[in-house]
């Protein structure tokens, strides 16, 4: 089954009739696949270019002693750097976990000194804002698709975005799972490695990067809110090619105090 590419431009321009058409396309993808690509002329053309992705994630090339300066062990909310080589759970990868710093409900992100990695913090923050704004538009699309006011989900569940910056070595992997939240937005590496299972299928499908797109897939909380109408897609990573695989994932989850239950129509 082909994963559709959906243009979010009507949501940038507040074109009401076109927004409903786009929302319905997203709803169909969420029902049948659980995943879709989004694009818009508002996205920079370099959004998933290999060179740009590598520049954003050049942190991983630093010596371990430097990377461990921002180890997640130092942070009560687990923000920071982790290297996982857990063969029992079938996991082999490195990541950095970060989130929004504007609120006061979470600890702050950990950063290296500017002299240790010049320009890196600003680059990551710029991409965080870009992916977060995309998540905001998708919450609006989801709301319309569910027959609600455009801002219904944002008002009801108070979206809290966090990101993972990822690097997989050759042989790197992430085991099969579904995400617990509402929505994941992926900046994919053209090298590949991500696989999904569409609804009703037991076959793994390779998901490739497409120019100037984000890959989006929904999680368990949104499946629950739709009473199973939409599909939280199982996915995994298998990286067996030479060289590293990089990636950035933004999780758009409801506030921890939110009550997750089927909507009443």
- pLDDT tens string, the chain, 265 residues long: the values are 799 999 999 998 888 899 999 999 999 999 999 999 999 887 776 666 677 777 788 999 999 999 999 999 988 778 999 998 755 556 688 999 998 877 655 678 999 999 999 999 998 998 899 999 999 999 999 999 999 999 988 887 777 899 999 999 999 889 999 999 999 999 999 999 999 999 989 999 999 999 889 999 999 999 999 999 999 999 999 999 999 999 999 999 877 777 777 886 5
Strand ranges for 40-159 from DSSP E = 80-86, 91-99
d(CA 187, CA 214) in angstroms, rounded, equals 5
d(CA 84, CA 44) in angstroms, rounded, equals 32
Domains of the chain: 5-253 (2.60.120.330)
Q: What's residue 69's pLDDT?
A: 95
Q: What's residue 232's pLDDT?
A: 97
Rounded to the nearest 5 percent, the helix, strand and coil shares of the chain are: 30, 25, 45
d(CA 35, CA 183) in angstroms, rounded, equals 10
**Element spanning 50, H or E:** helix 50-56
- β-partners of residue 7 are 39
Q: What's residue 240's pLDDT?
A: 93
For residue 80, what are its two tokens?
């920071």
Q: What's residue 23's pLDDT?
A: 97
Q: What's residue 265's pLDDT?
A: 53
């Amino acid at each position: 089954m082909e994963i559709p590419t959906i243009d979010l431009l009507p949501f940038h321009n507040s074109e009401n009739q076109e927004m409903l058409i786009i929302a319905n396309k997203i709803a169909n993808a969420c029902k049948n696949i659980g995943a879709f690509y989004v694009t818009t002329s508002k996205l920079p053309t370099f959004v998933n270019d290999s060179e740009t992705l590598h520049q954003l994630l050049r942190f991983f090339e630093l010596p371990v002693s430097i990377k461990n300066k921002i180890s997640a062990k130092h942070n009560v909310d687990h923000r920071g750097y982790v290297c996982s080589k857990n063969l029992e759970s079938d996991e082999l990868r490195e990541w950095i976990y970060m989130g929004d710093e504007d609120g006061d409900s979470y600890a702050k992100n950990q950063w290296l000194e500017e002299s240790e990695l010049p320009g890196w913090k600003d680059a990551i923050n710029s991409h965080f804002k870009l992916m977060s704004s995309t998540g905001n538009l998708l919450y609006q699309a989801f709301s319309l698709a569910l027959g609600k006011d455009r801002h219904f989900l944002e008002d009801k569940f108070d979206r809290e975005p966090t990101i993972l910056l990822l690097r997989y070595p050759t042989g790197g992997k992430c085991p099969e799972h579904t995400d617990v939240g509402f929505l994941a937005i992926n900046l994919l590496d053209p090298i590949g490695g991500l696989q999904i299972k569409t609804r009703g299928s037991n076959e793994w499908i390779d998901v490739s990067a497409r120019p100037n797109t984000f890959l989006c897939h929904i999680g368990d909380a949104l499946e629950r809110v739709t009473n199973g109408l939409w599909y939280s897609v199982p996915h995994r990573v298998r990286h067996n090619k030479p060289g590293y695989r990089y990636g950035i994932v933004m999780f758009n989850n409801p506030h921890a105090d939110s009550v997750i239950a089927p909507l009443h129509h």
